[in-house]
Structure formats: C-alpha cells, structure tokens
Amino acid sequence: MKNFENKVNKCRRDFDKAVLRVKDEKSFHELRNLYLSRKRGRLTLLFKELNALKPEEKPKAGQLLNRLKSHIQGKLESRKKKYAITKEEARKTDITLPGRKRYWGSPHPVHLFQEEIENIFLSMGYSVEEGPEIETDYYNFGALNFPPHHPARDDWDTLYIKGDLLLRTHTSPVQIRVMEKRKPPIKIIIPGKVYRKETPDPTHLPMFYQLEGLVVDKGITFAHLKGTLEYFLKTLFSENVKMRFRPGFFPFTEPSAEVDIGCTVCKAKDEECRVCGGSGWIEILGSGMVDPQVFKNVNIDPEVYTGFAFGLGIDRTAMFAYQIADMRYFYENDLRFNRQFFLK
C-alpha cells in the first residue's frame, strides 16, 4: 500500500510540473492523453494496479486515485481557459496599428505662468526671494502693521497651527525677513503659496500662489510704482491693455492703490460676465508705498528711504491671461485641461 501511495504522489507531482508547460491545443491534448488515455494513460494504469492490492486496501486506494483524477481534470480545464484567452488577445493585437503615444510630464500651468512673470521682473533687475509657509503671528501680521484685534486681520484670517504659528496669508512676511537682514537698495520679487479662509468658487481658493515685489531705495516715488506696473502688465498681457489705479487700503502701505485691467474674458462686452461681474474691469494687483511704520519695525530710517510694494495672485492672473472662467480648473488634475498649456 505504501508503495502504491508513493506512485500516486509521484504521478501528481509529474503532472503538476507538466501542466505548466501547456501553451496550446497540441500540448494540451498530448498531456491529457499521457495521463487520461483509456489504454495507456498513467492514471488508467494506476487504476489497473488496484487489482493487485489486498481487498481491505482497495477502498482507500480507490479514493486516492479518484481524487487524483479530479485534480488532473480540473487543472487541465483551467489551463485550457488560460491559453485560450492568451490566444484571443494575440488575435486582437494588430501590429500594423500606429504605436500609442506616451506623454512626458511637464511643469504645472500655474508654475509655467509664475516663471513667465518672474522673467519679466528678472529682466528689470529684480532678484527672487522665498520664505517659510508656516509663519509666526509677528511676521505675518505684527511687523506688517496689523495691530492685534485690528479689523484688517479679518480679511486675512487663516489657519492657526499652534500658539502663534499660522499658515501665512500672504507672501509679505518675506519682505520683513529680507529687510531685517539686508540694507537698501532692495529690489526683490517673492513668489509662493499662501492660505486664506476662503470657500472655493470661480475666483477664490483656500490655497493659492502669490507673487509680490518690494523696492526700497532713496528717492523712490509713486511714479516708479506706476511705471513698473504699467511695464509689467503691458509685457504680460498686451501693449494695449487698459489699466486703472483705484485708492485702496493695506495696513503695510500708505498710500495704497488697487490696480484693475480691462476684462480679458468678455472685453467689457458681457453684462453677465462671471469674471468681471459685468463691470468690464478686473482687480489684478494690490500696491502702495511702504508704510513708514513697517520701515521702523525693521530699523530702516523712513526719513532716508522710501519704497513701494505690490502683490498679485498668480493663479488668478493666469486665469485672466488664459481666459479661463474658473480658477478651480487648475487644481482638478484633468490632463485634458493641463495639456493645453504644455506647448506654450
């Protein structure tokens, strides 16, 4: 009986190895005949050996053989299904079809636009500065002339992390960090991510990119500010872009001005334009002369030095430049949208 059991086990092992090599109709039939053929199949021969066993051994031996038989049949069937599918796939492959195009990655559209803006300022002799996205209350508010509990803080309210740490609401803290370390002349732009407590809509996002500029030197006037922004907007949009300055308020500049350009989406022709609200103008920049108190906070003498600062939303401006009606498209990761900008 022991000898018989060994034979059954060996037969199973041999079959398990052989079945892996079945790849087509031909090898399938060959293997099936080798094991299940009614005349000389290995299994058939084992069944014949049953007769030589003692009567009390026969039931158990028969059970072993039947189990082996269904094992072999089951494996053969599943193998057949497998190679049948492979064959079907091979039939579907048409090697005369053109190859599939693979897309290379590319910088994000907002990043490409940021580089476009940076290049304009680099050509005017500005340098690029960066700073931390997690700021202290002092750099984000205090040093920029937002006293505690001042209502101006409400517009910039944000996510506090722990104690006086918060996600910066603007890139302006970097102005302070640079002026603390360096004496004028200063001529910098500061791009980066900022955070606000906004509900996302076509023109607002809780996280967006800002770029601001700061110029500090002797004899800097509002005329320098105006000339710089005019040159910038004409280079970025077009020579005949319409622009206007409106009085505004920022705690860190005095006087302050908001800068509008003629609506690039409806060209001031659509009273129901979602972007300009039908006014024909879109607000694009905040700007102003650096408040003397800010200079005092960083030990720069406001009697000697003056300066101007300005800031814009990169995503927001990209939306106007590319004539996109909803800023949220930039962050939906729809490649059909993103790829439109790759060739620019």
Taking a C-beta distance cutoff of 8 angstroms, is the pair 165, 103 a contact? no
Indicate whether 179 belongs to the interface with Zn ion (CB under 5 A): no
Give 166 or 265: the residue with its C-beta nearer to Zn ion.
Answer: 265
> Which residue from 176, 186, 215, 276 is in contact with Zn ion, where contact means CB under 5 A?
276
In the chain, % helix, strand, coil (3-state, to 5) comes to 45, 20, 35
Indicate whether 261 belongs to the interface with Zn ion (CB under 5 A): no
CB of 110 to Zn ion, least distance (A): 21
> Which residue from 266, 285, 312, 319 is in contact with Zn ion, where contact means CB under 5 A?
266
Residue recorded with tokens 């990119």: 209
> Which residue from 72, 144, 263, 319 is in contact with Zn ion, where contact means CB under 5 A?
263
Give 47 or 281: the residue with its C-beta nearer to Zn ion.
Answer: 281
Distance CA 315, CA 339 (A): 17
CB of 203 to Zn ion, least distance (A): 11
Task: Please tell me the count of residues contacting Zn ion according to CB under 5 A.
Answer: 6
Interacting span for Zn ion (CB under 5 A) from 52-60, 228-236, 261-269, 335-343: 261-269
How large is the C-alpha radius of gyration of the chain?
38
Distance CA 131, CA 195 (A): 14
Interacting span for Zn ion (CB under 5 A) from 208-216, 252-260, 266-274, 325-333: 266-274
User: Does 247 sit behind a cis peptide bond, omega within 30 degrees of 0 on the bond before it?
Assistant: no
Interacting span for Zn ion (CB under 5 A) from 7-15, 94-102, 114-122, 273-281: 273-281
Interacting span for Zn ion (CB under 5 A) from 80-88, 150-158, 200-208, 268-276: 268-276
The CA-CA-CA angle for residues 150, 151, 153, to 5°, reads: 80
CB of 276 to Zn ion, least distance (A): 3
Q: Is 24 exposed, middle or buried (0-12, 13-18, 19+ CB in 10 A)?
A: exposed
Report the half-sphere exposure of 319 (CA within 13 A, side-chain side): 27
Residues of the shown chain interacting with Zn ion in the complex, contacts defined by CB under 5 A: 263, 265-266, 273, 275-276
